[in-house]
């Protein structure tokens, strides 16, 4: 046994299943993420990546399975436990989901005041610090509509970081961005990984996944059909589904 | 022809008194009606299904029955069950109920128009449903509902004249009494009309100012 498996996972999902209208959309998904790891979910659209991520903080309630945060079983029926789960698990969305009526700084500070019960002053200072970290302290007073997509996503990252989450879920954080804005967001995420943040990320950025993932999980039709280190799944000549998917993405990109 | 002397010394003071009584109905009805509308609108979107149905039913009844009939009911029918209101109380209650029902419809539409992603983001940060509604969705929805709610307030200014039928003598009531004594229908009703027009114009101007004050760059309807 290596060292990692002897620790308790930061977040563990066991046998998550979900059906909608009698049709299974997630079947028996399990995942453990340890401190400082980055798990990457890849797979075609409609594979259930986003649904799975949202089951991990119960934005979507799974039908079956259980969640453990630092080894403690979460009962989501208990509102207090559910809120503490969400407070401790950060989330970044594909389309940012900033609060439109609040400035960048207020977007970051509001949950500190409302959920963490910080004073307004401390929350504003902390928000400034987080915006500084993603390079946006000079945009603190602007509203979401006045920011570019990349800037919006960096504010969303600052908003999640300010809560001091134990793990961050990233749901295709660059998919809604213009190509020239992808880089700045990936750079911010890379910086997080370097700082030892634990993350689970759904993405189509294969180069990014290859470089940073501890493990890649390939999903199709609501199931994980392949998993492994990027070095083995994406090894030149490897006959894996992941490799085939990767090759097709590259081919499509060069065809454009 | 109405003499200028009578106009300034009899008609204007009487209408001013009526104006005062009208405002004593309009201002509290507008404020409480709006706040009530926000509450009912929020309940109709976020409350558990049972509460939602009750609120929907309430709005359905208030919107579906003539206001005049509701006022008669409050003032003349309820005393049979031992519930007695003064004409002022009955009119105020009727206007608040009516106004809040209409406001709730504008607020409900605005609440539904707020992108669901923001609701998800608030939950993902650990907000309770109440915090999410109060801090994220309602502040945006109220801004978006302002033009509709302003419309309702202007309408309220005019239907406040119905209080007259409950023997609460406000602006229209005073005008009616003046004509009954002097028969100068044209001059008196015209002047009373100008009073209403002044009130609605002032309200429209204030509402426009409020819209401008609460506007957020890139959010909602831009001018």
pLDDT in tens, B115-157: 889 999 999 999 998 999 999 999 999 999 999 999 999 999 9
CATH number of the CATH domain containing B39: 1.10.3720.10
Flag whether B204 is in a domain.
no
Cβ–Cβ contact B48 with A under 8 A: no
Separation of CA A165 from chain center:
11
Q: What are A242-251's pLDDT values in tens digits? A: 888 888 877 7
Helix (H) / strand (E) element for A136: namely: none
**Which strand ranges, in their side-by-side order, compose the sheet holding A199-202?**
A89-92, A167-171, A199-202, A38-42, A215-220, A223-228
Gap from A134 CA to chain B (nearest CA, Å): 19
On whether residue B132 sits in a domain, the answer given is yes
Does B8 reside within a domain?
Answer: no
Q: Which domain holds residue B80?
A: 28-159
In a domain, B68, yes or no: yes
B219 CB within 8 Å of a chain A CB: yes
How much is the pLDDT for B1?
Answer: 66
Interface predicted TM-score of the whole assembly (ipTM), two decimals:
0.91
How many other C-beta atoms can be found within 10 angstroms of the C-beta atom of residue A126?
A: 20
* Rounded average pLDDT over B93-122: 94
Neighbours of B81 (CB within 10 A): 7
Q: Which helix (H) or strand (E) holds A59?
A: none
Rounded to 5 degrees, φ, ψ at A177 are: -100, 150
Q: Which of A77-81, A179-183, A251-255, B193-197 has the highest mean pLDDT?
A: B193-197
Buried (b) or exposed (e) across B83-107, using 16+ Cβ within 10 A? eebebbebbbbbbbbbbbbbbbbbb
Residue B6 pLDDT exceeds 50: yes
Which residue matches tokens 């969705």?
B137
Rounded CA gap, B146 and B42, in Å? 15
| A99 contacts in chain B (CB < 8 Å) | 118, 121-122, 136, 140
* B123 min Cα distance to partner chain A (Å): 7
Q: What is the mean pLDDT of chain B?
A: 90
Q: Is B209 exposed, middle or buried (0-12, 13-18, 19+ CB in 10 A)?
A: exposed
% of chain B beyond a pLDDT of 70: 97
Region of poorest pLDDT, from A64-68, B94-98, B177-181, B216-220: B216-220
pLDDT at B183: 84
Contacts of B48 in chain A (CB under 8 A): none
Residue B173 domain flag = no
Strands in A72-73's sheet, in edge-to-edge order, are A23-33, A11-20, A64-69, A72-73
Among A53, A89, A93, A99, the residue to mutate for chain B (most B Cβ within 10 A): A99
Number of domains into which chain B is organized: 1
**First and final C-alpha spacing in chain A:** 46
> All domains of chain A, ordered by start, with CATH?
3-255 (3.40.50.300)
Average model confidence (pLDDT) for chain A?
90
- In angstroms, the Cα distances linking B46 to A79, A87, A123, B124, B128 are 16, 22, 28, 17, 12
In a domain, B33, yes or no: yes
B135 neighbourhood in chain A, CB within 8 Å: 110, 114
Of B208, B218, B203, B144, nearest to B22 by C-alpha is B203
Residue B145, domain member (yes or no): yes
Q: What pLDDT does residue A207 have?
A: 86
Mean pLDDT, to the nearest integer, of A180-197? 91
CA dist., res. A13 & res. B21, Å (int): 66
Q: Is residue B192 part of a domain?
A: no
**pLDDT above 50: residue A192:** yes
């Amino acid at each position: 046994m290596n060292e990692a498996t002897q620790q308790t996972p930061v977040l563990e999902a066991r046998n998550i299943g979900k059906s909608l209208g009698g049709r299974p959309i997630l079947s028996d998904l399990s995942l453990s993420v340890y401190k400082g790891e980055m798990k990457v979910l890849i797979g075609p659209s409609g594979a259930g990546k986003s649904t799975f991520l949202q089951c991990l903080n119960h934005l979507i309630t799974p039908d079956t399975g259980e969640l453990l945060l630092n080894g403690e079983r979460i009962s989501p029926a208990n509102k207090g436990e559910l809120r503490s789960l969400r407070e401790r698990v950060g989330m970044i969305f594909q389309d940012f989901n900033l609060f439109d009526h609040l400035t960048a700084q207020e977007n970051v500070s509001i949950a500190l005041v409302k959920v963490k019960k910080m004073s307004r002053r401390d929350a504003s200072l902390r928000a400034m610090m987080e915006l500084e970290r993603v390079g946006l302290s000079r945009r603190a007073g602007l509203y979401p509509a006045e920011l570019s997509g990349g800037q919006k996503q960096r504010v969303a990252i600052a908003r999640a970081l300010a809560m001091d989450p134990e793990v961050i879920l990233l749901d295709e954080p660059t998919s809604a961005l213009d190509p020239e804005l992808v880089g700045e967001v990936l750079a911010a995420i890379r910086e997080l990984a370097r700082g030892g943040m634990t993350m689970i990320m759904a993405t189509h950025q294969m180069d990014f996944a290859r470089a940073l993932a501890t493990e890649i999980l390939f999903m199709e039709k609501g199931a994980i059909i392949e998993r492994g280190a990027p070095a083995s799944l994406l090894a030149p000549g490897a006959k894996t589904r992941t490799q085939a998917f990767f090759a097709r993405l590259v081919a499509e990109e060069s065809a454009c | 022809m109405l003499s200028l002397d009578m106009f300034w010394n009899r008609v204007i003071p009487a209408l001013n008194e009526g104006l005062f009584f009208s405002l004593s109905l309009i201002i509290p009805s507008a404020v409480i009606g709006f706040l009530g509308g926000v509450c009912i609108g929020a309940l109709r979107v976020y409350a558990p299904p049972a509460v939602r149905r009750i609120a929907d039913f309430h709005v359905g009844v208030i919107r579906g029955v003539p206001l005049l009939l509701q006022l008669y009911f409050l003032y003349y029918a309820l005393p049979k069950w031992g519930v007695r209101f003064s004409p002022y109380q009955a009119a105020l209650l009727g206007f608040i109920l009516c106004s809040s029902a209409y406001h709730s419809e504008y607020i409900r539409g605005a609440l539904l128009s707020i992108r669901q992603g923001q609701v998800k983001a608030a939950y993902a940060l650990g907000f309770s449903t109440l915090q999410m509604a109060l801090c994220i969705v309602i502040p945006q929805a109220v801004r978006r509902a302002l033009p509709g709610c302003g419309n309702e307030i202007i309408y309220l200014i005019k239907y406040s004249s119905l209080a007259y039928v409950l023997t609460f003598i406000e602006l229209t009531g005073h005008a009616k009494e003046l004509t009954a004594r002097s028969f100068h229908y044209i001059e008196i009703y015209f002047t009373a009309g100008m009073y209403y027009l002044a009130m609605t114009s002032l309200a429209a101007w204030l509402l426009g100012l409020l819209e401008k004050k609460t506007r957020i760059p890139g959010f909602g309807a831009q001018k």
